[in-house]
Structure 1
Amino acid sequence: MSTQHKGHEYLKLEELFNKSKERIGKDREELENISPTYEEIAIELENQIANLDGEYEKLTTEMTMQREELHREIDNAFNQMVLNTIDTGHEKLRSVACLIEEQIWTCGVTADIKCFNIQGVLQKTIQTKSRKNPSDIAVYKDGALLYSDWKTKKVYKVKDDQTEEIIRLQGWLPGNLCVTSSGELLVIMLSENETQAKVVRYSGSTVKQTIQFNNDQPLYSGNKKIKYITENRNLDICVTDWGAGAVVVVNQAGKLRFRYTGHPLAGRNERFKPSGITTDSQSHILTSDLYNHCIHILQSDGQFLRYIDNCDLKSPYGLCVDSNGRLFLCELFRGSVKKIKYII
């Protein structure tokens, strides 16, 4: 091949190379312009996928909650049932105490303490010594009635239509009552200046124990707000402290075991304000939640178990369980006592 021909071939190759290089450069510029657009589209698609995942998760969570609520309502329909309703005629019904169905004692905001049978027939009416409403009522195992009178600062025992003063206080006002399994009496007390509260155990008229502090801190709020009391089967002492929004549980020696401050309830968002309290044969603790219109059931260690909330309850207040394990509760403003069957 001649030198001249080789030169022509070289020029053609050089021209082809330059044209290819120029075309590649243009393609690169176009790709650089297009690439951010594709990246933006990819990012947007990833965001949409993430949003879809979030919406799906929310939807499945909501469906799960609705399914659980439905199961709970079905369970409640079978496990909770109102067996009897007694219209007591009390304007505001605060306490109920009974061991047998033929003696259901009730009191409210008047001086009248009324006794009904399970059919709702009034059996007897007793008036307090002060002609003021009693702080609370309780029943001894022999059927004798106890009531605390904040006006006279005394606790009375009524049996066979005879009234006997068994406790007289100075500087303190008697509040709610509980007869223990051993026949002793637990009394909630409030100082006259309404700054301190305590639990005092009596054997007859003799003070056996005072429960007021835990590590030098007050166990109970010092105010005149609701403080119902009961003894559990394991001998724990359980007190509702309305002012603190808590159930306070101490052991037999008066040492703090736990405080229960409520449990979330779907669709019911009022603050937990416990009023009445009782326990059953399995050592479950039952406490009434006035503003959320339900009963909380706890294990003896304070763990929440379930609610009683489908029995058309309205402002539940005082509670008691009779000797046969039946639950009786007061509806504060309706003035009715309901006997309820419940299964854990």
Structure 2
Amino acid sequence: MRCQQCQIQVCTKCIISGRHKNHDFLDIADEPQDESTINTSRGADGEIPPSETLANDPIIIQEFDSNNTDLDRICVCGPDEVWTSFMYESIISCMDFTGKVRDTFKIPSDEYAADISVKSEDELYFCDWKEKTINKYNKRDKSIEMVIRFEEWTPRAICVASPDAISVCITCSYNDELCKIIQYKAGRIQREIQDDGDGNALFPYKGGDIFLAENGNGDICVSLPANRSVEVVNRDGIFRFSYHGNHDVRSCQEFAPHGIATDRLHQILVADSDSGCIDCVSVDGSFIMTICCDLVDPRTLQINAQNDYLYAGEFSTGKIKIIKYMA
């Protein structure tokens, strides 16, 4: 469905939520399309644009309980397994879709992980903010190996984009406002991203959690909940855009971004914990649609690249919901 007043695509949940009260809606299938419209809507290479691959009504196809509340981070690590990390808990667990724990380990510092990211089905990276380290857990031999140690910086978020490429978002321990991203390639620092050409901070940090994702086009996407914004730079660290939510569909609620993920269409998915929805944004920062599927306090997101399903972890309930949002 499309809201005629807001001129955006919406799902059934958004309509009945009252966010588009007294608005008119048109079924996308009923919209007139002449031949010229169809031809110009496709790229030169014939690819179908993102708007034609999104489902009109995203649905939850499965959900399961992580058996705990304060669910902070999740990572897809297999066809039917996810890693889970909880706020204020030093235990990280791998569980299946029934909630059965298949593997678990304890963080050596006895603190919770600031973030987790999967390298392969057998290897999980995690940020130990207390010890200021990035560590790797090997599922096969149950070993924990320290990969990176920082001195005056604290790791807050991590993204393993490929087997030998790691991006880490860190904040300064002696100046809380300093925040930067270090990219590693084959264990060596490849790039540091902190300021623009004029010395302005690209990631103005105001405290709290940070969520990080790397897009398929090389863009780095940083969700800063305390700033109520998502900041995006390109692979060279050049500022691209800031996203502050879509106010046409948000009603009176402020944007509360948390978990962030990207899909094969280079779309950016952002969990808005206050509204209980997920914003879908184009690679250029344009709002596409809001996904509202009976979510409660969504905090962490992951895309399963095998089937394009979106995994949403709820902080207050501890539930993990698998959403089909592509047609």
TM > 0.5 fold call = yes
Alignment-mate amino acid for residue 151 of structure 1: K
The answer on whether the counterparts of 1:95 and 1:107 sit within 8 Å (CA) in structure 2 is yes
Q: Larger helix proportion, structure 1 or 2? A: 1
CA distance in 2, matches of 1:65, 1:306: 19
**1:189 counterpart (162, 170, 179):** 170
CA distance in 2, matches of 1:327, 1:267: 21
State the TM-score, normalized to the length of structure 1: 0.76
Matched, 1:286 2:269: yes
The answer on whether the counterparts of 1:190 and 1:223 sit within 8 Å (CA) in structure 2 is no
Return 5+ residue gaps in structure 1 as ranges. 1-62
Residues 223-258 of structure 1: CA distance to partner in whole angstroms, max 9, x if unpaired?
A: 332221111111111111222211111110010011
**2:222 maps to what in 1?**
239
Percent identity over the alignment is: 28
Matched, 1:198 2:180: yes
**2:204 maps to what in 1?**
221
Call closer, same or farther: CA 1:291–1:79 in 2, change over 3 Å. Answer: same
**1:210 counterpart (162, 173, 192):** 192
**1:319 maps to what in 2?**
301
**1:171 counterpart (152, 157, 177):** 152
Matched, 1:66 2:4: no
Alignment-mate amino acid for residue 255 of structure 2: F
Q: Secondary structure at the match of 1:243?
A: helix
Shift of 1:343: 2.4
Matched, 1:150 2:132: no
Q: Secondary structure at the match of 2:285?
A: coil
The answer on whether the counterparts of 2:67 and 2:99 sit within 8 Å (CA) in structure 1 is no
CA distance in 2, matches of 1:267, 1:283: 23
CA distance in 2, matches of 1:263, 1:149: 34
The answer on whether the counterparts of 1:276 and 1:288 sit within 8 Å (CA) in structure 2 is yes
Q: Which has the larger radius of gyration?
A: 1
Q: Secondary structure at the match of 1:180?
A: strand
Return 5+ residue gaps in structure 2 as ranges. 1-19, 29-53
Which stretch shows the higher mean deviation, 82-91 or 250-259? 82-91
1:48-127 alignment runs, 5 A limit = 65-68=22-25, 79-109=57-87, 110-127=89-106
Shift of 1:65: 4.7
Alignment-mate amino acid for residue 332 of structure 1: F
Shift of 1:204: 4.2
The answer on whether the counterparts of 1:277 and 1:287 sit within 8 Å (CA) in structure 2 is yes
Shift of 1:144: 0.5
Give 4+ residue runs of structure 1 displaced > 3 Å after superposition: 265-268
**1:18 maps to what in 2?**
none
CA distance in 2, matches of 1:294, 1:103: 24
Q: Larger strand proportion, structure 1 or 2? A: 2
CA distance in 2, matches of 1:96, 1:64: 34
**1:272 maps to what in 2?**
255
CA distance in 2, matches of 1:335, 1:121: 14
Alignment-mate amino acid for residue 152 of structure 2: G
CA distance in 2, matches of 1:172, 1:312: 38
Q: Secondary structure at the match of 2:190?
A: strand
Q: Secondary structure at the match of 1:80?
A: strand
CA distance in 1, matches of 2:61, 2:251: 25
**Higher relative contact order, structure no. (Cα contacts within 8 Å, ≥ 6 residues apart):** 2
Alignment-mate amino acid for residue 161 of structure 2: T
Q: Secondary structure at the match of 2:23?
A: helix
The answer on whether the counterparts of 2:91 and 2:104 sit within 8 Å (CA) in structure 1 is yes
The answer on whether the counterparts of 1:272 and 1:289 sit within 8 Å (CA) in structure 2 is yes
The answer on whether the counterparts of 1:93 and 1:333 sit within 8 Å (CA) in structure 2 is yes
The answer on whether the counterparts of 1:328 and 1:338 sit within 8 Å (CA) in structure 2 is yes
Call closer, same or farther: CA 1:304–1:192 in 2, change over 3 Å. Answer: same
Alignment-mate amino acid for residue 284 of structure 1: Q
Call closer, same or farther: CA 1:181–1:268 in 2, change over 3 Å. Answer: farther
Q: Secondary structure at the match of 1:94?
A: strand
How many aligned residue pairs are there?
278
Residues 253-286 of structure 1: CA distance to partner in whole angstroms, max 9, x if unpaired?
A: 0100111111025464221121110001111100
State the TM-score, normalized to the length of structure 2: 0.80
RMSD of aligned C-alpha atoms?
2.2
Q: Secondary structure at the match of 2:227?
A: coil
